[in-house]
A and B are shown apart, each in its own frame.
Chain A
Amino acid sequence: MNLLKISRKYHRYLMLFLGVQFVIWTVSGAYMVIFDIDYIHGDTLVHNHQTKIAPDDVHYSLTQLIQTYPKAEQLELGMLIDKPVYRFKQGDEQHMLDAGTGAMLSPLPKAYAQAIAQHEYTGTGNIALIELITDNPPFELSGRHLPAWRVNFNDFGSPSLYISALTGKVVTKRHEFWRTFDLMFSLHVMDYEEEDPSNWLLFWFVCFALLACLFGLILTYYRIFKDDAVKPTAQGSSGQNEGVSS
């Protein structure tokens, strides 16, 4: 059997087993490259307001804060919609104070979370659902963001904004395109649980895919570049491929 025949046979048989995965790889790969990653991340779902702090609204001083919360760390003065707030950590606890009055704002009630979501959301849809998640986060939300409000909108792509109940910040934004992307990635790396590319299933598929691809390239070479040489004609009096054969 010559190389052409061997290549054709093994290319066919390998693809009998790998073909579905090749389709999956190309479909998921195409999805991931065609959709802009910033869009997938949901960057277009939020305004990212740049409301500036008015120093005159800050009546509660840092000195007062330290007196009440002597262990305050990683302090930040920022805005919550239109109100200056202090966000800081004390021990393992995250807190948020009204910088005008010194009143404790965290954890945020539902109405506040709703107001923040509507303020940040760029779409026109109505809120479909608001729920507080304190444990067992859905796959699309990291556990370190808990507790958080999930705010679902009635809109194209079923967008969800996740708002930290402790900081009032939009910690995660998701829509169907992200969820599909996530599925595509797990299909692409063949790990449907942890989405880790280092798994044995992927290893064996990739090894055989490499072989199948090499056989395919040999076929391409023969069918496209060596087609003349493969095609024997009744030779005048010289043999086919005569001359340089050894």
Chain B
Amino acid sequence: MNSNVMGKIKFLHKWLSLLVGIQLLLWIGTGLYFNLMDSQKARGTQYLAKSAPVSVDDTDKPAQIEPATLLNSFKPAVSLSQVTLLDKPYYLLTYDRALYPYFKNHYTLIDAITGKQVMIDQTMAKGLAVNSYKGPGIITSASRVSPPFDERLKEKNTLWRVNFDDEINTSVYIDAGSGRLVGHSNDDKRIVDIAFMLHFMDYTNEGSFNNVQIIVFAIFTLFFAFTGFIWTIELGLNGQYSLTQLLPKRLIKKQNNTIQVIDIDGQQLRHVSIPAHENLLDGLIHQDIALPSSCGGGGSCGRCRVKLKPEAKITACDNQQFTQDELNLGYRLACQHTSDEVDSLSLLDITQAEKHQLELISSEFISPFIKELRFKTVSSKPITFKAGAFMRFFIPAASSHSLPVALPESLSSHWNEIESHQFTHDSCSRNYSLANSDHALPDAENELHFTIKLQQAPKFAISQVINPGVGSHYICNLQPGDRIEAAGPFEEFSAQPISKRSMVLIGAGSGMAPLKSLIEEQLVKLKSTRPIHLFFGARSEADLIYQERFTTLAIEHKHFFYYPVLSRPTGLFNGSNPTSISITNHDASAHSRVNSGPTQGYVQDRLAAQLDEISKQAEGLANVEFYLCGPKPMMTSTIEQLKARGVKESAIAFDSFV
């Protein structure tokens, strides 16, 4: 099927589920109730007495008035019928007969002996009610009520309601015009009525399932079911259903397919063995090749890209995630194809994303809440990666403490407000960006650096103790020599192809890692001479991480510019006017390059002040690449600011974090 159509069908199904999902649950739930309910109780007839045929003794029977005589003394009628109420004979004169007794009828009740019109009064209504009742209760009240009736939604005639005090609160309804027994109702039936109300969406008590809201919902649900049905067929045609997925693993005879894995450069990596019918995404993970995925195999995130043979089948998800050119080259989503289909595959976005054992070399506080962690591989095999890559750490289930171990004395004041408590957590995985570049520093070769913020519990928690970030606390409390498993590197936020264009990097808070990695890659590894501008915002002096490192780099490299900004400086500006130090002109920029002293404010403002100068230097903003990493508000406002200046979206790379 056309992928575009399939995409629309899935889109429809997803949003219709939001619209009709709850009502569908109500329909199915009440459906189950109707299936299980006691139909005897549902009628409300538990205490309904069967009317025994009245045998009137002929000899005692007084003569009834001739119908023809009676008709002459009343309005013209369509019928005259004998009725017996409480053992007495009556005539019921009907002037207008509706198709059903519960529709509005017009009639008069007449004593068949005297010929006098009879009104059904309270006493008579009570008598008729008792006559139809075999329960243990006695009458508590009787009232004449007009339609509509909650318990007799279809009834359009005026009724007497007679209540009994039995354990199920029986009510008996008598037609106030004809004495007809309309029916019984009780607590059991009232529950059934609620279920019907929900099933029929009769929220306005119209007594009908032909109401507007159910018609609208029925049509939406029709589309919902059909889109789901088509989706199911599509899944089936793509071989997404298999017995092995459903049955417990041990019941299935193990059968594996061997697949050749080729890396991005065409180098043969190795052969992997993946169980038959298993999808490639899950299969590769067990072989320590972790492809990125956020939807967990649903085919919707489009991240688990691999290259198969061009003739590999194309699923609807492939069609949505790749261009026609990519499909012709064999690009496919690993989650959409099983090991049965292929005998070789090429990895795309990753060079060597696989599981590694890492050993911690050092763990140092570089600000009150941020630590720099340095790892090396246990195997001593170097990991090559592009700047901006991240690793996925597998955090085991463990017990941890809200306060970090080995907290330096000088920082303890920052942790005063944090309540001390012990907590345990389950295993989980966390992604952390690399903060250095491979082969960056002569004394730190083959090292993997991370700058990790110890995430605090939200402040709003008053009554209960909420645990701080389990991943950051676990990893920051590791001791040198400790080992941890991680997969990667995953490369998603990386520099554009090497060029001479200016780079502007904007970051704040703990969004430092990928930016630092990019800078070190450009300056140290690639020895690039392109202009690089780093705008970095922090709260106070203590939070301004790597200030010394960048100041040194700025002095060493004439084309590297460092603009630190503090939003709440504490000591530096004491006794002087901060605004006078704010740097807004070209001269000051040159000064900052040498001095690299922080200014007060926000990075966005500092960037705005500097952008003209950068543009001039690069001969237009079109020649500038932007890299953003930091808290969402900072990113959003910066992206808006850049777009307002005419920067193309494709020239802005960003990486947000919570």
Contacts and interface: CB of A to CB of B under 8 A. Distances in A.
Interface string A187-218: 00000000001110011001101100110110
A235 interface: yes
Contacts of B145: none
Contacts of A78: 78-81
A243 B493 CA distance: 23
Contact of A234 (B229, B301, B431): B431
Interface string A80-121: 000000000000000000000000000000000000000000
Nearest to A208: B28
Contacts of B298: 8
Interface stretch (A43-51, A122-130, A138-146, A157-165): A43-51
A246 B470 contact: yes
B557 to A, nearest CB: 24
Contact of B17 (A4, A16, A216, A236): A216
Interface string B424-436: 0100101111010
B35 A234 contact: no
Interface string A58-80: 10011100000010011111110
A233 B97 contact: no
Interface string B200-239: 1000000011110011001101101110110010011000
A243 B514 contact: no
A72 B222 CA distance: 55
A179 interface: no
A19 B229 contact: yes
Residue from A19, A76, A238 with most neighbouring chain B CB atoms (10 Å):
A238
Contacts of B218: 26, 29-30, 33-34
Interface string A215-246: 01101100110000011111111111111111
B481 interface: no
A82 B209 CA distance: 38
Contacts of A48: 97-99
Contacts of A183: none
A229 to B, nearest CB: 9
Most buried by B among A51, A207, A241, A245: A245
A235 B435 CA distance: 11
Given A19-B229, A246-B423, A237 B215 contact: no
A110 to B, nearest CB: 25
Contacts of B97: 48, 50
Given A76-B79, A76-B81, A236-B655, A22 B228 contact: yes
B64 interface: yes
Interface size class of B (residues with CB under 8 A): 35 or more
B297 A5 contact: yes
A148 interface: no
Given A37-B210, A210-B29, A232-B294, A26 B225 contact: yes
A52 B93 CA distance: 11
Contacts of B34: 197-198
B245 interface: yes
B101 interface: no
Contacts of B79: 53, 76-79
Given A78-B78, A234-B389, A234-B492, A198 B21 contact: no
Contacts of A2: 296
Interface of A: 2, 4-5, 8-9, 12-13, 15-16, 19-20, 22-23, 25-27, 29-30, 32-37, 43, 46, 48, 50-55, 58, 61-63, 70, 73-79, 197-199, 202-203, 206-207, 209-210, 213-214, 216-217, 219-220, 223-224, 230-246
Given A4-B296, A237-B435, A241-B658, 4 more contacts: A4-B295, A206-B32, A223-B300, A238-B455
A-B pairs, 10 with minimum CB distance? A239-B430, A52-B76, A236-B511, A242-B469, A239-B471, A78-B79, A76-B81, A55-B71, A234-B390, A30-B218
